[in-house]
Amino acid sequence: MRECRICSAPIEPFMSFGPTPIANGFLTPDQFAGEYFFELAVGFCEKCGMFQLIDQPDREQMFHEHYHFFSGTSRFMTEHFREFAEHVMDDFLGDRSPERFVVEIGSNDGIMLQNFAKAGVRHLGIEPSKNVAEVARSKGINTISEFFDADLARAIVAKEGQADAFLAANVMCHIPYFHSIIEGIKVLLKPDGIVAFEDPYLGDVIEKTSYDQIYDEHVFLFSLKSISYAFGRHGFELVDIEPQETHGGSMRYILAHQGRRPVSERVKAQLAREEELGLHKAETFLRFRDNCEKSRRELKELLVSLKEQGKRVVGYGATSKSTTVTNYTGITPDLVEFISDTTPIKQGKCSPGTHIPVKPYEEFQKEYPEYALLFAWNHSKEIMAKEQAFRDAGGKWIVYVPTVEVR
């Protein structure tokens, strides 16, 4: 029996994906023998509503000088974070003077903070992966390579003063020591400051059976109930929400010190919606487990059938999420020839665990396969609009969210 990371209530796993490698741990053949695996299992706490990994690898295993994810390589995400930054500056900062101070954790290559820098707003990025932080610094974005907690927050306040806004995007769900983060935010944030962060939303994962959102970095999948509970213990209040299309369904949460801002009607409406979805009931997650097993079975059967017909299948997008799919489903190079990806640091390597070669996008274009397995399904609109030539050549897409189908 394990304890919930948020409220210490006992929790048990309701689903295991089996031994799974680091999702972003793309590797070369000489590294296969020493590859790290852990038991990927999830549990749900009925007391506080938190969906969480039972065990998570040490953070140094996941975020380091060879980290493979750079946000700025996506035009869609670049525009998304520009709009996020504009929203914060226009609706919460009051003005764009250098007197304002914004802090972002997990700031990656500066994709969001570059907008504050251009506007002349004082800012600080906190990015633990040194290679990614260096890219941000090369663009003139003030960035330190540290892990955020209450101690670091005190050091920042001593040097820079308190912040008007604390931001994060696809980061908070990565951090197991959640209370230390919130304690740090409380130290760092001005009395009238705001917290704005977004992460994959538990309600979307359950509705879409998007089990590939479950991997080593995502120690939590949040709901409004779980966020309200966790932050409420530290004197914060959820005052607004903004559903997002990113990552296949995300939620942006706006929080403030208790009583400092009015609570939006959107919060109340979405809490009622969570009750309808059953996000407070263990039985909902048992149904989710059954749906995941059905999806796994159908995808594997489809790929085996295509192989027997002599069809070529290539993966599209060497995403973190694809690691869960390939390992859980048992997709190996005999079923998927290679994975096409535009990220140079991944090219020439192999997928974690299943060791499917990752090749440059040009290899996909050179000789189109009959089928492309869309691992980057959360960017399907952008991708399918871009890949009309593949469709014109007779190519078909295989998707598995929300259901397994050929398009």
Distance of CA 212 to CAs 127, 168, 374, 384, 401, Å? 24, 21, 12, 20, 9
Amino acid at 259: G
Residue 363: partners with Cβ closer than 8 Å, 6 or more residues away: 338, 340
CB 230 within 8 A of CB 178: yes
Check: CB of residue 197 under 8 Å from CB of residue 252: yes
Confidence of residue 132 (pLDDT cuts 50, 70, 90): confident
Tell me the mean pLDDT in the region 119-148: 92
pLDDT tens for each residue of 284-329: 999 999 999 999 999 999 999 999 999 999 999 999 999 999 999 9
The pLDDT value given to residue 60? 57
Cis peptide, bond prior to residue 402, ω within 30 of zero: yes
Residue 245 confidence (pLDDT): 87
pLDDT band, very low/low/confident/very high, at 64 (cuts 50, 70, 90): very low
Looking at the domain 71-259, which fold is it?
Answer: Rossmann fold (3.40.50)
pLDDT at 74: 67
Residue 166, pLDDT above cutoff 50: yes
Which position has the higher pLDDT, 68 or 248?
248
- For residue 154, the surrounding DSSP H or E stretch is helix 150-160
**177-221 per-position pLDDT tens digit:** 999 999 999 999 999 999 999 999 999 999 999 999 999 999 999
Q: What is the pLDDT of residues 214-266, one digit of tens each?
A: 999 999 999 999 999 999 999 999 999 999 988 789 999 999 999 999 999 99
Average pLDDT for residues 130-149, to the nearest whole number? 92
CB distance 2 to 10 below 8 Å: yes
| Per-residue confidence (pLDDT) for residue 68, from 0 to 100 | 45
Walk across the sheet containing 13-21 and list its strands.
Answer: 13-21, 37-44, 51-53, 220-221
Share of the chain above pLDDT 90, in %: 88
Domain 284-406 has CATH 1.10.620.20: no
130 — pLDDT class (breaks 50, 70, 90):
confident
Residue 147 has pLDDT above 80, yes or no: yes
What would the mean pLDDT of 61-68 be, rounded to a whole number?
50
- Which pair of tokens denotes residue 85? 């930054």
What's the chain's average pLDDT?
94
pLDDT (0 to 100) of residue 57: 81
Residue 46 CB neighbour total at 10 angstroms: 13
Distances (CA, A) of 359 to 345, 352, 355, 364: 11, 14, 12, 8
pLDDT digits (tens, 9 = 90+) for 353-395: 999 999 999 999 999 999 999 999 988 988 999 999 999 999 9
Q: pLDDT band for 7, please (50, 70, 90 cuts).
A: very high
- What is the rounded distance in angstroms from the CA atom of residue 170 to the CA atom of residue 320? 13
